[in-house]
Amino acid sequence: MIPFNQPCLVGNELAYIADAVKRGKISGNGYYTQACQQFLENEFGYLKTLLTNSCTDALEMAALLIDIKAGDEVIMPSFTHVSTANAFLLRGAKIVFADVEANTPNLDVTKIASLVNKNTKAIVVVHYGGIAVNMQEVLHLAIEHNLFVIEDAAAALGGFYSKVPLGSIGHLAAISFHETKNVQCGEGGLLIINDERLIARAEILWEKGTNRVAFNRGEIPSYDWMDLGSSFLPSELNAAYLYAQLEKFGHIQTVRRQQWERYFESLAPLVESGRINIITTPEYAIANYHLFGLLCANELERDKLASGLLESGILAVSHYRALHLSPFFKNHYSGPELPNAVSFQHRILRLPLFHDLKDEDIAIICDRVKSLF
């Protein structure tokens, strides 16, 4: 069986976990948490970072930080993970779904302006598969209407909009370190704060609504309950695993790029003959090789291809469901049809892509795809 994904060891993960235990602190915000945050701030120029238990946690912190309340509206693509919407629904927001582009599963920025009104509080962009949204129009609207911009960059670490790292553009951003991501620690996430006005409060929310971070730095004699918050800090064991992966970030990215290119070269004849398409990167973006996605003609073809691969011991998977048509939300949705989101829901098939995937496995997968066509 060739799995869709497989966690990996690329360096000192186990040694650093043991070291975290020896240091006598395995709860949050210890040596390895701070090492990860410092690495990410230095490497990508983020103003401030806070490790979280998940990208979902980071998105929920973002909703708290911009004071989402009942009646506020938040614009986001329908083609995204449920966490993108849940974070803001939990604070009482009205979710306003927008369609994605015809050629990529990213937010169609030309559709945003018509959705903005006096209740709009934020625009949430989702950099699908590590491929940047075209941010120029988003930032223009945000300035014009005084809106927050939040990047759901769950799978986008190492991706760029032009030459700007994803996660560094919006007021806030969220990244995932789930085991399916390029850099992983089982479950983990990151809140990025690019607006200096939000940093002090972010630290309070992060530590269960207390000013414990300032206390730990020796800035105050004791800590108190100051605000809303939750237990958003990950264990030092997760942070230790993550730090070992971050140390090898360049190596990980090189391996994934080479795997992506092998897929692309092998399947090029199918693309050139018009039998199938792949998810590609626009000129303004630099991808991080998070996924290799096929675009089938329709749902029937996609499902037949997935079944044929599975019969050969290869697990390939579809991706998001259009949230505006989900069982939970469809009875609450009264907006326009979103045909591109629905189309991608039916057409995407993601092939296995993970650090330890062998060249011969990629050859087997590609041969099977070509034989099925």
CATH number at residue 68: 3.40.640.10
Task: Report CA torsion sign: 163, 168, 173, 179.
Answer: positive
Please indicate, yes or no, whether residues 176 and 256 belong to a single structural domain of this protein.
Answer: no
Please indicate, yes or no, whether residues 95 and 79 belong to a single structural domain of this protein.
Answer: yes
Q: Is position 326 within any domain? A: yes
Q: Is position 1 within any domain? A: no
Please indicate, yes or no, whether residues 49 and 110 belong to a single structural domain of this protein.
Answer: yes
Please indicate, yes or no, whether residues 215 and 257 belong to a single structural domain of this protein.
Answer: no
**C-alpha distances in Å from residue 268, one per residue of 41, 278, 279, 293, 347:** 38, 9, 13, 13, 18
Band of residue 263 on the pLDDT scale cut at 50, 70, 90 = very high
Please indicate, yes or no, whether residues 25 and 123 belong to a single structural domain of this protein.
Answer: yes
Please indicate, yes or no, whether residues 239 and 306 belong to a single structural domain of this protein.
Answer: no
> What predicted TM-score, i.e. pTM, was given to this entire model?
0.97
Band of residue 226 on the pLDDT scale cut at 50, 70, 90 = very high
Q: Is position 3 within any domain? A: no
Paired tokens of 337: 């049809």
Domain encompassing residue 306: 249-372
Domain end marker among 247, 268, 284: 247
Per-residue pLDDT reduced to its tens digit, 41-89: 999 999 999 999 999 999 999 999 999 999 999 999 999 999 999 999 9
Q: Is position 27 within any domain? A: yes
Per-residue pLDDT reduced to its tens digit, 103-151: 999 999 999 999 999 999 999 999 999 999 999 999 999 999 999 999 9
Band of residue 172 on the pLDDT scale cut at 50, 70, 90 = very high
Domain end marker among 215, 247, 279: 247
Structural domains of the chain, count: 2
Domain end marker among 247, 267, 291: 247
